[in-house]
Chain A
């Protein structure tokens, strides 16, 4: 079947077991299994449930029969798989992989591909919609205190129609996300200002938004976003592994409306988050100086940042005298140096804030600066493919190969 970029489908797996474990028709699982079976990729990078529903870990799958382990969604899976690919798989330099990507994973991979830290030709991105993820431990506390449920009894959590739903054997309990977030709970703070919910920067973008009618809850909405994506989807359909239907027109509108509403909410959140700051980068830094003064120099933000990729980091003590070794709080230059290295590419993935032991809102600070990059240079990191990288290139005069 000829599949083209920008095509949209309702799709569901032809395999009963996958349909059962995977959500909304098990299409992601089916595609991943096919890619491994046919040898199109050497490995699949996905997320697996570890200790329980609140514990997600990356998994490198080489046996097609293991793909099923990664089926289903984990809202507490706050990982950035781009880091896993660049750091532990050497940027897919010597292997072909398919990666399940939330929008921020896809954005980050795109940035890494442009800098040749990840080899674009070797990576297939199977994108999944994301309305935000939640930090595991605070979420469990919220379930205990607000939902008055034992986190261990929750069998599934779901975000639908502005509500966060916890499902137990006894039924469902839904609370408005707005209300939860008013009280500092709910999604991670970076997710609340995320403007990318449908990963159209991946090769395929999948999700349940917009699936209505008879197939509601049983199929996935698939949007083809690249030639690579079109080729793969065509092959899977031809192999008879996935059934498709044209999407219902109203469903397409609903999907785009959901996205628009979420982007609007994120923009409002950005207004709020960035309200205390005005002017340039230095003013933003000055605004957060007090928070940065707690830094214990754990290097956690550098370790977690998927865009901090230098093999030989100039921040380590044998490096500059202006960030002297062994002194805490780390010199402001520590963060300013990191900022210059990554902020044009920052994808607001939130990893830095999540690992900060000193509760510095690092992700918010860099999102504030990155918004200025967006405003001043017109570059939307992780999404724009053709624009010059603002801190690396001046434009056509200085394009270079990495």
Chain B
């Protein structure tokens, strides 16, 4: 007789944190069904929620460790692979730990991420640990920490339904965070006005009352212009500015230089519209700002983020439901990956490496002397590898070859390593470049927690056994640490809940989130200092998270993209994610999603296409100073003239063959993924 059960879990794609029910038949996941009791999505999901489980038992799953010899992979035993990895790590840990680097996986549960940074720090003595937030919402973490004292979303996601006015900039949430998009639809039905500012007339823009088209990379100028209009009309919240902030005058001095004419020239947006939107934003009772990677993925990403913070503080739209600055975090657990200390400057719970007392606490807990100098960021690690200064890179479930800017540069850097270790489910573009591949258990096959973009920590249940031959990530890392000669008790846990206990003990902002509380469908929002505290999602209610409790305005000048268009490369390329995929390794192995969108495309404005004689669906050549690809054209009026867009999922026509890794944001080390100069030609 067949056995069927439903096992509740959390979706592993975007940062919205939707609940689903796995359907498990005779011990195998065979589908998902709505989990209507889940507080975030009430049983509703996007295409990825409906079909994103299909990769789980895919025949491509890696089930045996692989070691590369003479350019070819051969199968290896776990013992051999683990010994090889451990001896290589140990060689540098004993001599020069800064030659080692670690990437943690923002799709993986918190517990795996915590152990990854622990292997780096407690196992190897290096602070070189980072993850893909660096090229995603790193600017949010840096920008909002500078302004508000905490680098996370100020409000819970439900809050948006109570907004009167929503200014959405650089977020196409109907594709990238669809169940947050649903909350925007509900807000509109509740009477809110929606303005979407984007170079593309996206599905989200199509919902808007006003669509503001503007040029990629001119966000600071746009928002400075809005600030000036608000101040000139006397619509700033003087009381909020006086009581709760500092730095207003300095900010004002810079913003007042941004005359509407000048702003319209830089942004190419309609000046009357800018003025109208600024005034309506300031006049609304509860006005919310929503943004995502359109704001962050620039060489001035942190400045963009801080501009949104300036606007919100100027109008007193913080610490209240329906207002706030709402960054939509990328991956399901990229919030958690930051929280867990997979950052070269922070231990778990944003405790600073540079603080000697904090580093002393962790040196004791981890039984090793740790440096107080922050380690290298993800981009810096790759550059160090390129320069020959980093020798070993340990990648836990990330795919930088596909997702980092400038694929050629990434591959050259990897080729320069003594050893690349990749812990993965599938043979990704990055795994293919590895020296050792370790097959890991995946989503649905383990317990642990995800933290969504609204800081909601949620418990994951195991629905099926991992495939034979794979291991849990944290167990792989335990075995490596022990083989390196580290004490087993430092890395040994009976289960994921035990790892969570250690996280609670070390990170005050998580202390109140007990395992028992996590078993409820609501999960718990951090900060949560006390198990008795209800821990509501709204932050900065009466004071900001800085020690003096004040928000800090930032004076910001428009800088714009580092690489600008010229006669040779006259089109500005932006990159995006589409609704039906999330990166590549998982969704491209989901049959329904793959059938829906089997390959990439370049969106090009109808006029730009006509000038080049390009027809819809025609394969064209796109090239930049870094590389060249052949890709089908999608000719559309939905993108601004002069701007083109490529979704980043597809290795056969990879956007990042063209993007620029040369210059990055000094404030957060973000590379410019959303603006580079290219040319498109008929083949």
Contact = CB atoms under 8 A, between A and B. Distances in A.
A328 B595 CA distance: 15
B182 interface: yes
Contacts of B50: 298-300, 303
B520 interface: yes
A78 B579 contact: no
A328 B8 contact: no
A55 interface: yes
Interface stretch (B33-41, B111-119, B487-495): B33-41
A299 B182 contact: no
Interface string B569-599: 0000000001110000000000010011110
A58 B6 contact: yes
Interface-centre pick from A76, A89, A294 (highest chain B CB count, 10 A): A294
A89 B203 contact: no
Contacts of B531: none
Contact of A359 (B21, B43, B182, B592): B182
Nearest to B592: A316
Interface stretch (A12-20, A210-218, A349-357): A349-357
Contacts of A135: 36, 42
B185 A136 contact: no
A87 B2 CA distance: 13
Interface string A267-299: 000000000000000000000000001101111
A325 B596 contact: yes
Contact of A326 (B4, B520, B597): B597
A272 B46 CA distance: 31
A154 B34 CA distance: 24
A62 interface: yes
B242 interface: no
Contact of B185 (A55, A294, A303, A325): A294
B39 A137 contact: yes
Interface string B22-42: 010100001100111111011
Interface string A79-120: 000000001110000010000000000000000000000000
A317 interface: yes
Contacts of A325: 595-598
A136 B34 CA distance: 12
B203 A329 contact: yes
B51 interface: yes
Contacts of A57: 6, 21
Contact of A298 (B23, B30, B49): B49
Interface stretch (B80-88, B173-181, B214-222): B173-181
Interface string B461-503: 0000000000000000000000000000000000000000000
A50 interface: yes
A51 interface: yes
Contact of B2 (A60, A138, A329): A60
A206 interface: no
A326 B650 CA distance: 14
Contacts of A326: 578, 580, 596-597
A39 B3 CA distance: 17
A42 interface: yes
A111 to B, nearest CB: 20
A62 B3 CA distance: 9
B36 A296 contact: no
B45 interface: yes
A391 B2 CA distance: 35
B44 interface: yes
A54 B25 CA distance: 24
A136 B2 contact: no
Contacts of B206: 293, 329
B47 interface: yes
Nearest to A360: B185
B89 to A, nearest CB: 42
A56 B595 CA distance: 33
By DSSP majority rule, is chain B's interface helix, strand, loop, or mixed? mixed
A194 interface: no
Contacts of A54: 37
Interface in B195-210: 203, 206-207
Contact of B43 (A50, A59, A298, A354): A354
Given A57-B6, A325-B595, A355 B21 contact: no
Nearest to A319: B595
Given A135-B36, A294-B185, A88 B592 contact: no
A119 to B, nearest CB: 15
A328 B37 contact: no
A42 B34 contact: no
Nearest to A48: B6
A59 B520 CA distance: 20
Given A296-B46, A298-B49, A357-B182, A51 B595 contact: no
Nearest to A137: B42
A43 interface: yes
A316 B175 CA distance: 19
B45 A357 contact: yes
Interface in B641-665: none
Contact of A316 (B37, B41, B49, B596): B596
Interface in A21-53: 42-43, 50-52
Interface string B43-61: 1111101110000000000
A358 interface: yes
Contacts of A58: 6
B543 interface: no
B4 A50 contact: no
A357 B36 contact: no
A251 to B, nearest CB: 35
A299 B52 CA distance: 12
Interface string A293-314: 1101111100110000000000
A157 to B, nearest CB: 14
A249 interface: no
Interface string B1-12: 111111010000
B189 interface: yes
B521 interface: yes
Given A56-B37, A296-B47, A357-B46, 13 more contacts: A55-B37, A58-B6, A88-B23, A89-B4, A299-B50, A299-B51, A325-B598, A328-B174, A354-B36, A354-B43, A356-B44, A357-B41, A357-B44
12 contacts: A50-B8, A51-B521, A59-B5, A137-B37, A296-B47, A297-B579, A299-B50, A317-B598, A325-B597, A326-B578, A326-B596, A359-B186
User: Which 6 A-B pairs have CB atoms at the shortest separation, nearest pair first?
Assistant: A55-B37, A326-B597, A357-B44, A57-B6, A136-B37, A137-B42
